[in-house]
Structure 1
Amino acid sequence: MAGNTFGQLFKISTFGESHGKAIGVIIDGCPSQLPIDLDFIQSELDKRRPGQSKITTQRKESDTVEVLSGIFEGKSTGTPIALLIPNEDHRSKDYEHNKDVYRPSHADYTYDAKYGIRDHRGGGRSSARETAARVAAGAIAKLFLKHHGIEIFAHVSAVGTINAPHLEDLSIEELLHLREDNIVRCADPATAKQMVECIDAVRKDGDTIGGKISCKVQNCPVGLGEPVFDKLHADLGKAMLSINAVHGFEYGSGFSGTEMKGSEHNDIFLPASGNPKTLTNFSGGIQGGISNGMEINFTVGFKPVATIMHNQQTINAAGDAAEIKGKGRHDPCVVPRAVVIVEAMAALVLADHFLRNKVTKLD
């Protein structure tokens, strides 16, 4: 199976299945001497772990991370860092009814058609459980970026048709406090209350709902990204679209930019003695595929979770008509737990491009 490795210089490879003994990640390319805060890594995993609240899956996983290699006396050694996260609460019997039928809008059929074998217990490698390994790796990427002054913040900006207002005037520290003060991880308290009520109502009805996560990067230096195939926004887009249930990615003005004229959309440079700033930021901090020093911002759209607690028509492996009903423990909406995944994938992209950008010209 291809596609288990991400990045060029700051590179990760994840392994394991949802109902196997463990999942994990190997991080190759992390520079040596980086202070590694294990408590921070665990706190990041705690934001993604299941069983957090009434609006998330009730699967109970501590997601306790174990370091196997690459860290000595609290610092990275420059060798591959291996992190392991045991699976503790998999109930494979909950998936026996899926053994010979394909769940609508899941990877069951495509996985089976491609590989001729599939792990029906939670989806195997196609399960969102794999993203815990990305969060662990992303935490180390965050530590690397923070060492260089780069900060990343994401929050739930929409659930269904409920949209949070733009939060422009608050610091990342203030936004983090507001976000972590509610179970939906929206940094606007009034909107968060509406979102929680919506998700809980959908959950009680046995259904699911989608949402959006907005992310911003501050203090990113000028020059990350390449002008052709390795554009920074292209790699961010690939990273986000590789997350389970993601159906859309837009940066800067996004699709709303298609409704504007060039005279409205152009970001006008302001006079400056150092790196110039722009009057607006419709470019989302990236121009020509290269970061321009302005705040990078983007939004990620998540579809409703495919497993619902209603009877649905489907087919079995023989192509015959069948009926299926969701069982087990599933999220009614993925976005509260996906915030930290979005941040992790952004951190992995930026750390990789930061290292790739180290020498681009001779002084």
Structure 2
Amino acid sequence: MSTKSTAQSTPKTKAHHAEKGFVNTDSAMPEDASMTTMLYRLIAEKRVDPKPTEAIPVKSLTAQQLNTIAIDEEVLVRLGHSSIFLQLAGQKILIDPVFSERASPFSFIGPKRFHQPPIKLQQLEAIDLVIISHDHYDHLDKTAIKELKDKVKHFVVPLGVDQHLIDWGVAEHKITALDWWENTEIQGLKVTSTPTQHFSGRTLTDRNKTLWSSYVLQSATSNLYFSGDSGYFSGFKEIGDRFGPFDITMVETGAYDKNWPGIHMTPKQSLQAHLDLQGKVMLPIHNGTFDLAFHSWYEPLQRISVLAEEQGVTLATPIMGSILNIQNIPQSIAWWHQEQQVEPKEVVMSEVTSL
């Protein structure tokens, strides 16, 4: 496989490197809640519809369907949460593939899936590239990586995440670890790691030891952006100015809360991020699969739909498993309208509304 990594020089490249790991660089980043505050809310706060009461619609996929996509067709499939299948530049790509029943280090406790993936992990055949945004359990699935390691030609990860993969049996020569603004070219596909405002860690002792990233994916005909996880920050505009406009922005829209405004965005902020990025179509991710916050499970999709309509933004909200042609995205489907809900403007929001 032909790969090449280069660094784009910028005065901000090393500002996020700290003595013992990595830091966010936006000076406007607010503080997040203490563990005591969070524990109190978990015990005392009344939840409204944290999980679906009916089955979420999912379109089943087979390896044969993925294998019969024309080599020159560029497609996107939402697999759930932030997991994405892409075919770009003739290559089959997975972003943040999470297939486990729980987004947790344990099999018996932690956020449990609302729905099964459209395709079973074992059914996936040869994958050209896996891209990881950061090492949290809802984005980096150890079981999936160990199952995929011999089927995948190459992995692109943020700095430090490569060691997780090596520990799980991935051959070191298959892994490219990127710092912000660095890129790698893989057979006609350019992958650039770009900043995001978040944090990392899989245990109580490794917080921020690995980097967190968003990505720009550029083929000869498509220009895509994947946000990973992020609070709203000035970096979106810089990325948009450097790499936009984007055919599709896959932007985190979910798991937000008033007590952690620095690391996740409200729907209003997610929409602004899309505008900053100069996106043509916005695909909201990080919702619809796991219960990771205090809002209703459907609230992020419900609210972003209202906001997008108000702002004239084209939104893509496909049923999980739908195969979308990147250059011909169909009209949004409100698949989450399956049960009695509070109207979007009447829902009690846990949010910071300022940008």
Higher relative contact order (CA 8 A, sep 6+): 1
* TM-score bucket (shorter structure): under 0.3
TM-score of the superposed pair, with normalisation by structure 1: 0.25
Larger radius of gyration: 1
TM-score, normalised with respect to structure 2: 0.25
More helix by share: 1
